[in-house]
Amino acid sequence: MFEASLEWLLNTAGKDPNAAFGGSVPFLMLTGNLAAAWQLGRSILAASAKLEQGEDTGFMTRKIATAVFYAQHILVECGAENLRITEGSASLGDAALNL
Amino acid sequence: MTYQAPIRDIMFNIEHLPPTPEAGAAGGGIELEDVGAALEALGRFCSDIVAPLSRVGDEAGARLDGTEAVLPEAYTQAYAQFAEMGWQSLPHPEEFGGMGLPRAAAAAATEILNASDLSFGLCPLLTDGAVEALLLTGSDAQKQKYLERMISGQWSGTMNLTEPQAGSDLGRVRCKAEPAADGTYAVSGTKIFITYGEHGLTENIIHLVLARTPNAPAGPKGLSLFIVPKFLVEEDGTLGRRNAVTCVSLEHKLGVRASPTAVLEYDGATGFLVGEENRGLEYMFVMMRAARFAVGVQGVAVSERACQHALQYAQERVQSRPVDGSTKDAAPIIRHPDVQRMLLRMRALTEGGRALAIATAGWLDLAKQGYTDAEDMAEFLVPLVKAFCTERSLEVTSLGVQVHGGMGFIEETGVAQFYRDARILPIYEGTTAIQANDLLGRKVLRDGGATARRFAGMVQETEQALQGGQCSGAGRGKAAGRGVPDV
Ligand SMILES: Cc1cc2nc3c(=O)[nH]c(=O)nc-3n(C[C@H](O)[C@H](O)[C@H](O)COP(=O)(O)OP(=O)(O)OC[C@H]3O[C@@H](n4cnc5c(N)ncnc54)[C@H](O)[C@@H]3O)c2cc1C
């Protein structure tokens, strides 16, 4: 999803900057979402290793559960942002605002 | 209820999320336990002294008495203790009296302080930014003159960019700086929305001001940066004459009401050029990178505070029988699936934001050590921390109100204030749109997507590790087996 948006933006920005920058906030929110998920993914790896060693199991279990919730409930929003960026640019702009 | 610093989660993040051990606590030659002990002590101070300020400050606000900004008395006392305990010095170099903790630890300290009260936290936050700018761009003499007392918290710092006609577009700044025969400059003009632009918490205020010299080119390339102290500092370090900068009004605001937001009139105030003429915006970006990162951390902070309140309320408030029929009577609302959904969303967004911020702090430290790859990655991540964590803090604090039902809308509960306070975060230090333009224009398009692809590659490595079973038991079962989506 990130890569699809990225390639679309790289291909579009030169010829149609308004279309590309109309997607700039959705792209930031997509990327921020993914970056946070990435770090929570690294947290799962670290917490799993600690669990294996039997260290602070209550905290580690909760940490993993929260990260999995993030992936299933928040990371999925990247799909909608990608659609806004790559399919939504035509309906952005002057026409609908009556300018 | 009072605030409890989430030390366990913070320490987990500091231990595991900076990109390399050198970028975490290890890099500064500092033991993880020492970082933990410092943050715990800060946490106690914040729970006891700072957190109780927030209601008082919200109700009384900062007010103008003549040309002096007056904060509630409790703020003055709390600030004096804050400085006395040396908390301002935490992230700054030992050379100027700082503790020299790595940035991941400093980010955690910023979070704890701002979770306690955003209005209070703003004063140290701006001082940190001004210190950073002077460290990187000030002359040796300027560093000697100002840094030690800013780092000790004795003096505070501000950043003066905004003018009525110049907000997002700093190229429109009009403030003037006329060179004088003695090498100083006379700074004149109006600055608006200056956070802690006037207050009595510290004996001096060091304003960093963007202004234009007489023959400067138009637009952003004609701005220079000046130090304009509220009280001029004599050669022997004592405070001299009051400078010609006056607070003419304070704003009435939706949130962060105890933080004085000043309109400042400069009337030929004595200013000292930082670095070279016409390079002011470039220097200010140094301060802004630190400040933008810190504002993102404020988003995590207010989210954490909202989480703690919501969780406690959901355990106490009894309403409705559970749908699974597990009890005959009404149960605490935390038993209802939708309340759990809200609490988990709040918790996950907060922990996700914290993880992103602390990892980014590690990249910033690597960048400071001179790794150019890390510099590019830090530049890519900072607008994400600023905009993503602050936009999401609006959602988290709004959910916090929702968990409380009607009581959430009543000021007495305190959670409405978090929602109002959070609303400034996606606006100041560059709006979300400005962060997004920066990300797309300067961090993605400019290098043809190279850094963005490198970022995607690192995300993919983590995904592969998760799927390849480098995590055990619960981790693997849940993360890889049960449909963590591919993005
Ligand atoms: C409480 C508070 C504290 C503050 N503290 C300080 C301080 O200490 N020092 C200081 O110098 N300033 C401070 N500010 C000012 C703050 O940084 C500005 O308000 C902010 O940068 C936005 O500028 P503006 O208000 O002029 O809005 P505008 O720039 O007029 O923006 C209006 C809208 O247009 C959008 N917009 C503008 N340009 C673009 C663009 N190129 N692309 C897309 N959208 C765009 C914005 O995103 C926004 O939605 C503070 C403001 C407040 C309210």
- Are A67 and B479 an interchain contact pair (Cβ–Cβ within 8 Å)? yes
In DSSP notation, B50-103 reads: ITTHHHHHHHH--EEETTEEE--HHHHHHHHHHHHTTGGGTTS-GGGT-----H
Q: How many CB atoms lie within 10 A of CB B2?
A: 10
Query: Over 90: is that where the pLDDT of B241 sits?
Result: yes
pLDDT of residue B486: 54
- For residue range A65-89, list pLDDT tens digits in order: 999 999 999 999 999 999 999 999 9
Q: What is the mean pLDDT of residues B234-250?
A: 96
- Are A47 and B462 an interchain contact pair (Cβ–Cβ within 8 Å)? no
The mean pLDDT of chain B is 94
- For residue range B269-324, list pLDDT tens digits in order: 999 999 999 999 999 888 889 999 999 999 999 999 999 999 999 999 999 999 99
CATH code for the part of the protein at B282-460: 1.20.140.10
- Residue in chain A lying closest to B356 (CA): A36
Mutant choice from A1, A45, A55, A92 vs B, greatest count of B C-beta within 10 A: A45
**Domain coordinates of chain B in residue numbers?**
7-63+70-137+146-151, 155-278, 282-460
* Strands in B359-439 per DSSP E: none
pLDDT of residue B372: 85
Catalytic residue of the set B22, B94, B429, B461: B429
Query: Over 50: is that where the pLDDT of B17 sits?
Result: yes
Separation of B424 CA from ligand 1 center, angstroms? 10
Cross-strand partners of B205: B156
The model's confidence at residue A11, banded by pLDDT at 50, 70 and 90, is very high
Separation of B7 CA from ligand 1 center, angstroms? 34
Q: Which of chain A's residues have a Cβ under 8 Å away from the Cβ of B348?
A: 40, 66-67, 69-70, 73-74
Separation of B432 CA from ligand 1 center, angstroms? 10
Distance (Å) from the alpha carbon of B341 to chain A's nearest alpha carbon: 9
pLDDT of residue B13: 98
Query: Over 90: is that where the pLDDT of B93 sits?
Result: yes
- Residue in chain A lying closest to B483 (CA): A72
Considering the segment(s) B7-63+70-137+146-151 as one domain, its CATH architecture is: Orthogonal Bundle (1.10)
pLDDT of residue B480: 43
Evaluate whether B254 touches B423 at the Cβ level (below 8 Å): yes
Say what percent of chain B tops pLDDT 70: 95
Cβ < 6 A, ligand 1 pocket: B 159-162, 167-168, 193-195, 253, 261, 424, 427-431, 433-434, 437
The model's confidence at residue B485, banded by pLDDT at 50, 70 and 90, is low
Query: Over 70: is that where the pLDDT of B25 sits?
Result: no
The model's confidence at residue B481, banded by pLDDT at 50, 70 and 90, is very low
Distance (Å) from the alpha carbon of B162 to chain A's nearest alpha carbon: 23
CATH code for the part of the protein at B155-278: 2.40.110.20
Give the number of A-B residue pairs with CB atoms closer than 8 Å.
192
pLDDT of residue B34: 93
ipTM above 0.95, yes or no: yes
- For residue range B123-150, list pLDDT tens digits in order: 999 999 999 999 999 999 999 999 999 9
Selected residue with higher pLDDT from B472 and B79: B79
Q: What is the mean pLDDT of residues B437-464?
A: 98
pLDDT of residue B27: 61
Query: Over 80: is that where the pLDDT of B477 sits?
Result: no
Separation of B262 CA from ligand 1 center, angstroms? 15
* Strands in B201-257 per DSSP E: 204-211, 224-229, 231-233, 239-242, 245-250
Q: Write the DSSP symbol of residue B252.
A: -
Nearest to A10 among B445, B475, B483 (CB): B445
pTM higher than the cut 0.90:
yes
pLDDT of residue B471: 60
- For residue range B327-377, list pLDDT tens digits in order: 999 999 999 999 999 999 999 999 999 999 999 999 999 998 888 889 999
Structure tokens that stand for B261 in this block: 């937001």
Distance (Å) from the alpha carbon of A9 to chain B's nearest alpha carbon: 8
Q: In sequence order, which residues have a C-beta less than 8 Å from that of residue A40 and are 6 or more positions away?
A: A66, A67, A70, A71, B348, B351, B352, B355
- Residue in chain B lying closest to A7 (CA): B449
B15 is catalytic: no
In angstroms, the CA B287 to CA B443 distance is 18
**Helices B7-16/B32-45 angle, 10° precision:** 150
Query: Over 90: is that where the pLDDT of B114 sits?
Result: yes
- Are B448 and A10 an interchain contact pair (Cβ–Cβ within 8 Å)? yes
Q: What is the mean pLDDT of residues B471-487?
A: 47
CA distances from B304 to B51, B259, B381, B398, B481 (A): 13, 20, 21, 13, 30
- For residue range B373-432, list pLDDT tens digits in order: 899 999 999 999 999 999 999 999 999 999 999 999 999 999 999 999 999 999 999 999
Q: Write the DSSP symbol of residue B22.
A: G
Mutate to test the pocket of ligand 1, among B427, B435, B437, B442 (most ligand atoms within 8 A of CB): B427
